[in-house]
Amino acid sequence: MSLSFRQPFVVIRAVLLAPLANLLSTLNAHGAVFIAGLAALLVFAGPLSGVAEGSEPGLQVMDGKIYLPIPGSQITAGYGTLKNSSAQAVEVKFEKVEKFRAVELHQTREENGVARMQKIPSIAIAPQSEAVLRPGGAHLMLFTPEKGLKAGDLARVHATVNGKSIILEFKLITRD
C-alpha cells in the first residue's frame, strides 16, 4: 500500500524534471537559478511525503464480530482478523469497546488438557501480515454489556497501533 502511494510522486517528478531541463538551456542565468530551486524543492518533497505516509497506522479488521452475551451473562468474546498493511511491525492494544464497560485481550492456552485464558497486554503483527482473534487463541473478552444490544449493531473498538489511536468496527452477532 505504501508503495502504491509513493509511486505517483516518482513518476510526477520524472515528468516535471524533463521539461525543466529543456527550459534551463534556453533561460538566462537568473531564471536558471529559480528553476534549479524549484527542482530542488521537488526532490525534497519526495522523502517528506514518505514520512507522512509511514506514520499511518495501516491496520484493518476483517470479519470483526462480537457474540451477543447469552441471557444472564455479563461476559462475551470478540473475534476477527487484524491485518497490518503497513511496512512496519505493529503492536496493537485494546483500550475500550463502546457498548461494553470493559475489554481485555486474552490468550487461550491448553495446560494438562484444560483450556485456560490469560490476559495479555498487546498483540504484535509483522509487516504485511495478519493476526487472527479466534476461539482457542487470542481473543477480545468483553464485560458488562449495555442493555438492549441486538444482532447487527456495530461496536466501535478503540485500539492503539504503536501508540496511535484508531477505531475498528466489530459487528454484534448471535451465537449459533
Q: Does residue 102 interact with Cu ion by CB under 5 A?
A: no
Using rule CB under 5 A, residue 106 touches Cu ion: yes
Q: Shortest approach of Cu ion to residue 55 CB, angstroms?
A: 32
| Distance between CA atoms of residues 174 and 104, nearest Å | 21
Smallest distance, Cu ion to C-beta of residue 82, A? 16
DSSP labels, the chain: -HHHHHHHHHHHHHHHHHHHHHHHHHS-HHHHHHHHHHHHHHHHHHHHHHHHHHTS--EEEEEEEEEPPPTT--EEEEEEEEEE-SSS-EEEEEEEETTEEEEEEEEEEEETTEEEEEE-S-EEE-TTEEEEE-TTSEEEEEEEEPTT--TT-EEEEEEEETTEEEEEEEEEE---
105 forms part of the interface with Cu ion (CB under 5 A)? no
Note whether 117 binds Cu ion by CB under 5 A.
yes
Residue 141 interacting with Cu ion (CB under 5 A): yes
Stretches 3-11, 57-65, 95-103, 135-143: which one binds Cu ion (CB under 5 A)? 135-143
Question: How far apart, in Å, do the first and last CA atoms of the chain sit?
Answer: 36
Residue span binding Cu ion (CB under 5 A) among the ranges 13-21, 83-91, 139-147, 155-163: 139-147
| Shortest distance, position 117 Cβ to Cu ion, whole Å | 4
Q: Residue 123, interface with Cu ion (CB under 5 A)?
A: no
Q: Does 140 bind Cu ion (CB under 5 A)?
A: no
Candidates 38-46, 63-71, 92-100, 111-119; binding stretch for Cu ion (CB under 5 A):
111-119
Instruction: Summarize as ranges the residues that interact with Cu ion (CB under 5 A).
Output: 106, 117, 141
